[in-house]
Structure 1
């Protein structure tokens, strides 16, 4: 039976009706109103958990890893082992991150972030899990949000565990590098930029103000484990969900894909909105290949 969408007065949210229901067979739809209305039939029932990836933030000027904007990346992501074991690589990372933080700190939430927050306020989205480290979900009004890979707005000491705002570290790095004038290349999804070894060679790092230990962004580097508490909380959301909505993730990394696999095993309907294919397309009942901002804005207009 087709889903009938009735317009609601502005500012009036749809009632949340968290109940699992059948989803039509797999098909990839073009980017027009048809697939969005189809998606609204699933989201409009409520009980939706969102799993977001870097593709949701591309419209805010932050490229993704493997989508269209990710093709520009030239530097390999930093690994935890390299960061902690190689002082030269660590200095190079902080030089790149020091410049990249300007873009991350200035980035604003886009229409996609705001649409997710609207769906959450209306009770249709019951949980948000993000693989992003840019804080744009929260800036767009979503709360609570599970930051699976942490956040760039915080810095942790690996010796004493002290957690401090990134803005504080930025001030200390500015003071330690008054003449650092390297020109940044393109911003990368994890908040650093492209610099040559020569450009980074004169950069001065700083240590923990409390104990002198090694500082690291409070994010999960490649080769590092996601904290078990976050993983458990995310599985709990998925296991209670009426539907799982994946936004802007290629699902290449198991860190996020495992939640889609769990949803599929439990019979939780899955919808994916992404530009390009993902590694879990075969598990989704609804696939929408389209820009996320306009798609999610239209979705929110229909159901919230």
Structure 2
């Protein structure tokens, strides 16, 4: 870690020491240490597979079959992943009362695995570790879906209760954002004293608007990401470095 990054980590440590109702806003970069591939980097998921639009998923069973094929092809990465250093640090600060909550774009369930309770976590883009019926909301575990999918020549399973389409509990392109999650995220953002944007490229809207909202309501805005973002210029502190290294170093200085 070079001297400039060390100095920035010391500054971050001072910010964290005074934080009383912080919010962590996390993106895919937080989970790459855990082996979860991100979406936009070279070799990322979206460079290999064009995202399937929600409307196509609903209207075309072939698109549903492809969506499930992709999900199960990624099963090894998701199933074998464990929380990284960043997840554990955020869980620690949440338990210690410095963070009021965590708002995440991630769908991997690693915040919960690190000890974050559901009531303190806002999943803006849903969760890929289980599935739901889009019509009646019935929950289905992925093992059941996969057994049906593979046992019937990759036939797409339908809801046992109402016959509706079953989909991972994630938010796809073209799908409405979850209202309850958005309301809670806005509440946390407007009330926070420090907003930590961690591992997000900050290009997916409306989620990308939360750092701006936090800044407008008087919060100290910190951006930690390997690559620059379009909001770096309005942030109070920007660190382009490994997230686990940065959070560990900041914790040791505060």
Give 1:66 deviation, angstroms.
Answer: 2.7
Give the direction of change, closer, same or farther, for the CA distance of 1:90–1:162 in structure 2 (3 Å limit): same
Gaps of 5+ in 1: 1-28, 178-202
Gaps of 5+ in 2: none
1:106 is aligned to 80
2:143 to 167, 180, 204: 167
Alignment of structure 1 residues 1-304 onto 2, 5 Å: 32-46=5-19, 47-67=21-41, 70=44, 73-143=47-117, 144-177=120-153, 203-303=154-254
CA RMSD, Structure 1 to Structure 2 (Å): 1.9
Taking structure 2 as the reference length, the TM-score comes to: 0.91
Contact 1:129/1:147 (<8 A) preserved:
yes
Larger Rg, first or second structure (1 or 2): 1
User: 1:83 and 1:72 mapped to 2: Cα distance?
Assistant: 17
Give 1:72 deviation, angstroms.
Answer: 7.7
Contact 2:82/2:110 (<8 A) preserved:
yes
Residues 257-302 of structure 1 deviation map (CA, whole Å, 9 limit, x = unaligned): 2111211211211000000111211220100000111111222333
From the two aligned structures, give the one with the greater helix fraction. 2
Contact 2:40/2:46 (<8 A) preserved:
no
After TM superposition, where is structure 1 displaced by more than 6 Å over at least 4 residues in a row?
none
User: 1:150 and 1:287 mapped to 2: Cα distance?
Assistant: 27
Structure 1 window deviating more from structure 2 (237-246 vs 79-88): it is 79-88
Residues 139-195 of structure 1 deviation map (CA, whole Å, 9 limit, x = unaligned): 112232111111011211122221222233233334335xxxxxxxxxxxxxxxxxx
Aligned residues: 250
Contact 2:133/2:139 (<8 A) preserved:
yes
